[in-house]
A and B are shown apart, each in its own frame.
Chain A
């Protein structure tokens, strides 16, 4: 069974559209994250949720809105997509606390045309 899964794997859409990426983990972890990896492979955290509560919100446009219906799911909704949003988005999860490694999903490659 896949520990951290994301759907869709690929997403191609036009500027101005609204889209969502879903993430689910079956590891029983309390903490989930969204990362953005740009074309140069630079990886940056966007959001972190602990038990459905937002704990980290880095400098991300408010067009991006995470939603956590339960602690196993953390979805990412993006409004009014822009060309610069094209990237690979990774979901990850971990037990609560600083010392635990994170488990990453396979990524969603978003292309905005």
Chain B
């Protein structure tokens, strides 16, 4: 069965510093990987995805993620964090005909 691990419940970073939110996955076939963000009392919003091709994927709001097949990781990154980036971030994976499986989420707090 496919699964996603987000090892950090909370990530704190100072405004202007780079941020990384970690994600590792486990699938039996080729993975299709997604990052979503959830602001308080809102639905999830799509940030970026990896389907195939270039391992470095760029998405909304200056976020990017790098697919690393050997480490089965898909970490989310941003060179310079903003206070407005503070939210709950979800990594998700699917493979084959299985439904999208979400990680438990990582709360990002950017401190001014």
What is the size category of the interface that chain A forms with chain B? 20 to 34
Q: Which of A12-20, A39-47, A67-75 touches B? A: A39-47
Contact B99 A48 (CB under 8 A): yes
Chain B 77-95 per-residue mask, 1 if CB under 8 angstroms from chain A, else 0 = 0000000000010100010
Chain A residues in 8 Å Cβ range of B41:
106-107
With A98-B32, A99-B51: A105-B102 Cβ-Cβ less than 8 Å? no
Given known A-B contacts A101-B34, A104-B43, A107-B43, A44 and B102 have beta carbons under 8 A apart: yes
Asked if A43 contacts B43 (CB within 8 A), the reply is no
How far is A99 from B90 in the complex, measured between Cα atoms in Å? 17
Docked-complex contact A104 and B44, CB < 8 angstroms: yes
Q: Are A90 and B43 in contact (CB under 8 A)?
A: yes
Q: Which B residues touch A64, using CB under 8 A?
A: none
Rounded to whole angstroms, the CA-CA distance of A42 and B88 in the bound complex is 11
> Which residues 54-113 of A have a CB within 8 angstroms of B?
56, 58, 90, 92, 98-99, 101-107
Measured in the bound complex, the distance between the Cα atoms of B42 and A103 in whole Å is 12
**Does A32 belong to the interface (CB within 8 Å)?**
no
- Chain A residues in 8 Å Cβ range of B45: 104
Count of A-B residue pairs with CB < 8 Å: 48
Inside 8 A of A102's CB, which chain B residues have their CB? Answer: 44, 46, 100
Which one, B49, B94, B100, B104, contacts A41 given CB within 8 A?
A: B104
Quick one: closest B residue to A40, CB to CB? Answer: B104
**In the complex, A21 has a CB within 8 A of chain B:** no
What is the CA–CA distance of A48 and B98 in the complex, to the nearest angstrom? 11
Interface residues of B (CB under 8 A from A): 32, 34, 36, 38, 41-46, 49, 51, 88, 90, 94, 97, 99-102, 104-105
A interface, CB within 8 angstroms of B: 4, 40-45, 48, 56, 58, 90, 92, 98-99, 101-107
11 A-B pairs within 8 Å (CB atoms) are namely A43-B102, A43-B105, A44-B102, A45-B99, A45-B100, A58-B99, A92-B44, A101-B46, A102-B44, A106-B41, A107-B42
Known: A41-B38, A56-B99, A104-B36. 20 other contacts (CB 8 A): A41-B88, A41-B104, A41-B105, A42-B102, A44-B102, A45-B100, A45-B101, A90-B43, A92-B43, A98-B97, A99-B32, A101-B34, A101-B46, A101-B49, A102-B46, A103-B46, A104-B43, A104-B45, A106-B42, A106-B43
